[in-house]
A and B are shown apart, each in its own frame.
Chain A
Amino acid sequence: MSSRRSRSRQTGSTSRISDDQITDLVSKLHQLLPEIRNAHSDKVSSAKVLQETCNYIRSLHREVDDLSERLSELLATTDNAQAAIIRTLLMQ
């Protein structure tokens, strides 16, 4: 263990991240997650937060995929779509 530590100290180009900083990052992540599922948001373990994060990212990916499918179907009707796109551009 000590040898590993010394080796990393030699190569250590990146700064030492403390345990507190990690828990701080994890709690920041936790705040972003939809809070509805977590009734007691104080003592949630890091593993749970990370699991929720992974699930949330996967569900967001799925949502984006669904939306892209929907948008591509809407765009498939080309006559409609180009006029609609121009209209949305003008509206903004």
Chain B
Amino acid sequence: MNPVANSNSGRRKMKSKKKSMIKENQDKPSHAIWKTETRQQIYSSKLVQALSQLSLDSSPSPSPSSSSAPRGGRAVREAADRALAVAAKGRTRWSRAILTSRLKLKFRKRKRHRGSAAAVAAVSGSIRSKKPRFSVLKLKARSLPSVQRKVKVLGRLVPGCRKEPLPIILEEATDYIAALEMQVRAMSALAELLSGSAPPPPSQ
């Protein structure tokens, strides 16, 4: 009968629910979160939103001479990457790098397709060069030239990690791989849904 007690118990319930959710996310290692169903659902809905915006933009201009979207696949890939970066909640470098690179591309009006990646790297490199560089040549495993070379290649593959020290690149790579796997799963599921609904469904 006491309204205060009721509200307290309600608040406690909400708190415990939140706590369990947060605890669940903290118990799993970061890359295992990408395998959870909720994360994939979040990503799928964001992806669908982004794609529907894409199709709305491109549908009014059926002329083949439009230079804004010469290859629709490229636009889809960028939208998918952007949605993936948003789903990462900005905790990793690669996700932040993807999100900031989109902004820079928008400001530059997308003059170059492939050169933009180099431009972004140049800008981000100039920002990062103010930090003192961590010497990579310290320890045995790192001083192996083969390991160093491969880590450099890895740093180029993972967005935003070109000038990061070795342990950072490794950490980012583990999260990035898990995220990419989720992206593949979500996109193929979406493709299945879309291709499956092309013929009219029999029972609806």
On A, residues with C-beta under 8 Å from B are 4-5, 8, 11-14, 16-19, 21-23, 25-26, 28-29, 32-33, 46-47, 50-51, 53-54, 56-58, 60-61, 63-65, 67-78, 80-85, 87-89, 91-92
Contact = CB atoms under 8 A, between A and B. Distances in A.
Contact of B52 (A21, A25, A80, A82): A82
A76 B166 CA distance: 43
A65 B147 CA distance: 28
A42 B99 CA distance: 38
Main secondary structure of the interface of B (DSSP, over half): helix
B144 A47 contact: yes
Size category of the binding interface on chain B:
35 or more
A10 to B, nearest CB: 9
B174 A32 contact: yes
B101 interface: no
Given A25-B171, A33-B177, 12 more contacts: A29-B173, A32-B31, A47-B146, A60-B177, A63-B184, A65-B77, A67-B184, A71-B73, A76-B72, A82-B56, A84-B193, A85-B51
Interface stretch (B14-22, B105-113, B119-127, B134-142): B134-142
Interface of B: 31, 41, 44-45, 48, 51-52, 54-56, 59, 71-77, 80-81, 131-132, 134-135, 137-142, 144, 146-147, 150-151, 153-154, 157-158, 165-167, 170-171, 173-174, 176-178, 180-181, 183-184, 187-188, 190-191, 193-195, 197-198
